[in-house]
Amino acid sequence: MKAAGRSARTRLRDRVAASDPGLLRLTAGLRTVGAIALTLGVLALFGVDVKHLVAGAMAAMVATFAIREKEPGPQAVTLALGLPVALASVSLSTLLTSWVVVGDAFFVVLIFSAVFVRRFGDRGTALGLIGFQVYFVSLFVGGKVSGLPGLWAAVAVAFASSAVVRFGVVPATPARILGLLRQAFRARLAQLIATQLDLLDAGPDDIDKTLERLRDGTARLHETALMIQSRLDEGTPDASTARLVQRRIADAEIAAERLGLLLLTARSAERADTLTLHLPGAPAPAVGHSPAPGEATEILRRDLTALRTLVLRPPAEARGTALSHLRNRLLGYRDEENLPEATAAVQDVFRGIGETARAVMGLRIALDGPQDESDDSPATARSREELDAEDAAIDAGEEAAEEEEETGLRRPTTRAAVQVAVGSSLAIVGGEFLSSQRWYWAVLTCWIVFINTASTGEILVKGYRRLLGTVLGVVAGIVLAGLVGNHTWTAFGLVLVLIFAMFYTAPLSYTLMSFFVTAMLGLLYTLLHTYSMSVLLLRVEETALGAACGIVAAALVLPIRTDRRTNELLGTVLERLTDVTEGAVDQLSGGPEADLLDTARELDQALGDLRAATQPLTHPITPLRARRDTAQYVVALLETCAYHARSLAATAELLPTHPSIAADPRLRGAVRRTVRNIEAIAAHVADDSAATQVETGPSIASLLEPDTAAGIPRYGRITGRVLRHLERLDEAVVGLARPLGVSVGAPQR
């Protein structure tokens, strides 16, 4: 009974960990709600009125979500500096209320400064955000000079409550967050293997849905790996540990992705190159009912289940003969003589299971420490020796990369500050025409659509989502206000629920977050006795006006057009792709060791930035259907390229320590055409008038002639794997040329 209960709790924990990696959304929601609840409780003890309760609640929310540093020490410093900034902001807002022109001019200066100080990092961003939002809080509650001491007290209590909840009630150290992210990685890895098991049994009617789940699971695993990568420096005790965890996470991710491709190949008529669909609605591969008849299918099903068990079993339960037997059997597939009798494609799947089991064992050692070796088979002992040799070879030395920094109006923070200042000035003027009392809603919307956006298209999409969420939130606000009536604490309780939902859904959907914000504001208006249908309709009008002013400012003042932004990011992706490919092949050809995993992660980050920048082009409301399809096709091909480049980097990382991998000098020549093609595409992207051409020719494998003098065979299994990745990469690069307008021709002689 206890075991069943523990198993249910473990499954629930893994499900939660997979849905919210690091529990970052849950932590943000709990911290904010806890800070607001504590603030309301303290202020209620002193019998303050509803206006100051609302001001305290909003200030507590600002003090909590504005802090962005990862370490507790810097967080405390920023919070301490934020209090005088907040007190000064609320004082100036209250004092300048009667001086309309002066107050509006100062508000514009404050907005410019709040965006401009983002150049100073997380602390500058937080202090600018606090200054702007607290100024808005005073406008929202209608602060008066006579009530200024009460506002000071409410703000001070809010900041103190935020500190208590952040550091005492809901603490989150970098090491703890990294530990939760590791747990999320395991849970998502297990979910991906479960989906691969479903792919094994999927019939023609379910294959589309199963493939979609397989793609989503692979993308979610990759997302978690990137989140871990971003927190290794703060969450690990030293650089050597960080490098070890980084390598083992990369190994497990790539092995799991390769296993999915091998399964898909075993079920398909053709070799699978990528899990990405190049175009929406593209047909699924032609598949049969099972990858192999009879016994081989049952063995695959059994071994995939065993692999999932190895991933999920907690460290405390990871000892024992049964689990050792599973591990030994799976690792045995790394030896040719242990492969079951089956077709070549199915035997590749068994090899993939063996390599994934090795990656899982390496991950467990890196995350949980030394494992029980008493029941090791020869194959397991050999795998453990390989892992130990790799661990010992990790070089912790790192060189900080220096990036060229733009200056003047070309600097992103300066440009954004000018744009938002102009947009806010327009919003103030237009908002005053709509309402002399609620004009600041237009300014708030204009401010918000500029946050985390870098092009006119991104601002347009964000403004649209903000407006849609606001319209839906107004409807919800009307319903909730009617239900709550004059019940103050019921309204505050619902406000807390809506705030938690707002922070929990913010990373998932901006429209949904805007919905919860607007519904919450409807309740706050009810508490302030200023609620009416006209007020909520005015909220929609001011939101539309603010979004329009932001779009106009972004389009006319120092504009960054979406195509220019995407071209710049596309050039960066191609540059990183060249770095990873050349570095990996050079090392596989016998060149010096390089920091390939970091370079591969830079490629992933650049591709993520490009994917986000193309959202305006791929959004469902875009009228440019052909352009949308082209953008989706290009991003899909780049994802294919990134997968094969990551796999090359991971194989090259094994070269110095893996006894079965030897350098093959002939690989260096085989990659030259691919690199030239990438450079040709990059040159065309940078200057579309450049006369560049992508070359095609014989397969990459055919470029490796046997070196009979040196006794080198045509190529072995590892070199064959490298060649397969190079061939798929070469094909994907040639595929990129056509949608990007680069001519394709035969090699010049």
Alpha helices for 142-236 (secondary structure H): 148-164, 174-201, 207-235
Q: What is the mean pLDDT of residues 609-636?
A: 77
What band does 703 get if pLDDT is binned at 50, 70 and 90?
Answer: low
Residue 80: the pLDDT is 96
Strand partners, 694: 744
Q: Residue 640 carries which side chain, given as an amino acid letter? A: T
* φ, ψ at 666 (rounded to 5°): -70, -20
pLDDT at 292: 47
Q: Which whole number is the average pLDDT over 723-747?
A: 84
Question: Residue 711: which pLDDT band, with cuts at 50, 70 and 90?
Answer: very low
Report the pLDDT value the prediction gives residue 73, as an integer from 0 to 100.
Answer: 92
pLDDT of residue 274: 55
pLDDT tens string 228-244 = 988 888 888 887 888 88
The reported pLDDT for the residue numbered 498 is 92
Report the C-alpha gap between 160 and 343 in whole angstroms. 67
pTM of the model: 0.83
Task: Please give the pLDDT value at position 573.
Answer: 93
Cβ contacts of 492-495, under 8 Å, gap ≥ 24: 492/40, 492/53, 492/57, 492/527, 494/523, 495/36, 495/57, 495/520, 495/523, 495/524
What is the model's pLDDT at position 717? 54
- The number of residues in the chain equals 749
Read off the pLDDT of each residue in 178-196 and give the average, rounded to a whole number.
Answer: 92
Cα 137 to the chain's mean position, in Å?
31
- Give the pLDDT of residue 7: 59
pLDDT at res. 483:
82
Summarize the confidence of residues 495-512 as an average pLDDT: 89
CB 523 within 8 A of CB 498: yes
Average the pLDDT over each of 133-147, 244-258, 654-668 and give the range with the smallest value: 654-668
Report the percentage of the chain scoring pLDDT > 90.
Answer: 23
Residue 298 exposed, middle or buried by CB count within 10 Å (0-12, 13-18, 19+): exposed
- Judge residue 118's burial from the number of C-beta atoms within 10 Å of its C-beta, 0-12 exposed, 13-18 middle, 19 or more buried: buried
Q: At what angle do helices 239-267 and 207-235 cross, to 10 degrees?
A: 170
Q: What is the pLDDT of residue 279?
A: 35
Residue with the larger pLDDT of the pair 592 and 160: 160
Instruction: Give residue 133's pLDDT.
Output: 92
| Band (657; pLDDT cuts 50, 70, 90) | low
Q: Specify whether the CB–CB gap between 376 and 359 falls below 8 A.
A: no
Q: Give the pLDDT of residue 399.
A: 43
pLDDT tens sequence across 517-573: 888 888 887 887 776 778 778 888 888 998 889 888 888 887 777 778 888 899 999
